[in-house]
Structure 1
Amino acid sequence: MTDVLATRELTLRYADRAVIDGLDLELPAGAVTAIVGPNACGKSTLLRGLSRLLRPSAGVVTLDGADIHRMSARALALRLGLLPQQPITPDAITVEALVRLGRHPHQRMLRPWSAQDQAAVENALRRTGTDALRERPVDRLSGGQRQRVWIALALAQDTDLLLLDEPTTFLDLRHQLEVLDLVADLHETAGRTVVMVLHDLGQAARYADHLVVLHDGRLAAAGAPADVLDADLVAEVFGVDCLVVPDPETGTPLVVPRSRAARHRA
């Protein structure tokens, strides 16, 4: 198994509106992929389709060549973990109890909670910095704390393929970087394949090996950040006049919008 997610002629709809339209895409295994694009271009819809939360109206999503809609829910959950954009927290549940739900796909009727299950929960709490919050009700945490707890649940699931829909939402800059550093660590030390939706192009270019750029439900570009992210693409997809320069820290593409005066002169 190589954990290759792919789509063929994928169309995803809400009612009579096609949000993703005829998409052919292959996401590289063992890499960090960032899906970027303007608001309402289909980023989160695509992630819902890739995780089987949304059934295609046409086309197919495959995992290592197998149609994910022909796999059992448990078989898919053992291979693919998901952090949705706006997860719903059960009433009055504590942090540790929520993270323990990530072990559900590993449970069987005659298999009790094991030391391996608890170790996975402890590791997830530690890596997300939420271990000190374990007894607190999730609904009493700040937005940033809740986001880290949900990431811990996804980590406790212990899958080789992890989908994250805007994992830095509600987080200040320090915690955004902590989450993205965690993603990089999961990739580098555990070989996880990660697919995440991001808004910040600089962060996407810095942390991702592979970019998928969407525009109006279609693929605008895909490839290594340095190969696809340039001023022409940003102008066409995002409608922003900018310079794309090397990041002084990493050398990866950094998008610098032109000043108001420069835009007016143009």
Structure 2
Amino acid sequence: MTSNHSLSAERLTLGYGERTVIESLDLAVPPGRITAIVGANACGKSTLLRSMSRLLAPREGRVVLDGKEVHRLPAKQLARTLGLLPQSPIAPEGITVADLVGRGRHPHQSVFSRWNDQDDAAVDSALEATRTTELADRSVDELSGGQRQRVWIAMALAQQTDLLLLDEPTTFLDASHQIEVLDLLTDLNQARGTTIVMVLHDLNLAARYADHLIALAEGRLHAAGTPEEVLTCENVRAVFGLDSRVIEDPVSLRPLMLPIGRHHVVPPRDAPARTGVAREAGR
């Protein structure tokens, strides 16, 4: 198992130029669990993930991995423990799928340790897990958005890190492939104890698949805890500015958020359900 790593942020303030995006943030990622970061657009989700992977230096505070600041760790040492799939990765022009996935093995290479059978096995396993084996010899440039996203996830899996950060891993994927990818990440977490932190836009998928939710609002931590603790009508209104009703998901038994639009009227809880016959009669 690989769940003995700790990752946290302490008084973290982040920004770009003169604009502050995250301010005085404290949080701890539960080791060996799946954490989803949720919040409205431009609330700082991707910025937080970039800093946790040391792509963005903090203005104040620090990100700590196993008691050491990530921005002080050697790059290759960090890359053997923590992997990142950014929001909009760019592949070198003309690179094949197999070569791109193979780049996930670079942190394990050195002058004295070159490509070997273990690397081949890691790439093959990642391709198989993401169902991209048949794409191995194709150019990444030729792929659809959904295929390309699965290939990037394969590269992250090939890195075989104990912590994996993913920024919107279900981008470009249809409903079937979204569930497939999230099931895959759950299998990885359960089989290896991999700590997974991911940004998700779909609040209900986050509640279904994550053990721990972090809700950001305007650059600050609004709520953190289990899906039952975080996904409430009050928090949805505060974080997203959306009225909703939260019920139990009949599939996962986790909270399920039902948004209420301006053109929908919420019936009283004791109102009788309208049947299909009644709806037809009422037309």
* Bin for the TM-score computed over the shorter chain: over 0.9
Distance 1:112 1:219 in 2: 43
- The answer as to 2:133 corresponding to 1:131 is yes
Question: Which ranges in structure 1 are unaligned for 5 or more consecutive residues?
Answer: none
Question: Which ranges in structure 2 are unaligned for 5 or more consecutive residues?
Answer: 268-283
Which TM-score applies when normalising by structure 2?
Answer: 0.92
Which residue does 1:205 correspond to in 2? Answer: 207
- The answer as to 2:227 corresponding to 1:225 is yes
Distance 1:146 1:262 in 2: 38
Q: Which moved more, 1:253-262 or 1:72-81?
A: 253-262
Match of 1:165 among 145, 164, 167: 167
Match of 1:79 among 75, 81, 95: 81
Q: CA deviation at 1:112?
A: 2.4
Residue identity opposite 1:258 in structure 2 = I
Distance 1:237 1:18 in 2: 18
Q: CA deviation at 1:70?
A: 1.1
Number of aligned residues? 265
Q: CA deviation at 1:257?
A: 1.1
Kept after mapping to 2: 8 A contact 1:166/1:196: yes
Secondary structure at the counterpart of residue 156 of structure 2: helix
Which residue does 1:100 correspond to in 2? Answer: 102
Q: Could you list the per-position Cα deviations for residues 128-159 of structure 1 after superposition, in whole angstroms to 9, with x for gaps in the alignment?
A: 00000000000110000000000000000010
Alignment of 1:1-266 (within 5 A): 2-262=4-264
Kept after mapping to 2: 8 A contact 1:241/1:263: no
Kept after mapping to 2: 8 A contact 1:95/1:135: yes
Q: CA deviation at 1:262?
A: 4.0
Q: CA deviation at 1:64?
A: 1.2
Distance 1:250 1:105 in 2: 37
Distance 2:28 2:106 in 1: 29
Distance 1:199 1:3 in 2: 26
Percent of paired sites with the same residue: 58
Stretches of 4+ aligned residues off by more than 2 angstroms: 259-265
Distance 1:89 1:145 in 2: 13
Which residue does 2:281 correspond to in 1? Answer: none
Distance 2:154 2:252 in 1: 28
Q: CA deviation at 1:111?
A: 2.0
Secondary structure at the counterpart of residue 26 of structure 1: strand
Q: CA deviation at 1:192?
A: 0.6
Residue identity opposite 1:100 in structure 2 = G
Over the residues paired in the alignment, what is the CA RMSD in angstroms? 1.3
Select the structure of larger CA radius of gyration: 2
Secondary structure at the counterpart of residue 261 of structure 1: coil
Distance 2:253 2:132 in 1: 32
Q: CA deviation at 1:261?
A: 3.3
Residue identity opposite 1:188 in structure 2 = Q
Q: CA deviation at 1:263?
A: 6.0
Distance 1:35 1:150 in 2: 20
Kept after mapping to 2: 8 A contact 1:21/1:218: yes
Distance 2:101 2:237 in 1: 41
Distance 1:217 1:122 in 2: 40
Q: CA deviation at 1:259?
A: 4.3
Which TM-score applies when normalising by structure 1?
Answer: 0.97
Residue identity opposite 1:224 in structure 2 = T
Distance 1:74 1:263 in 2: 55
Q: CA deviation at 1:69?
A: 1.1
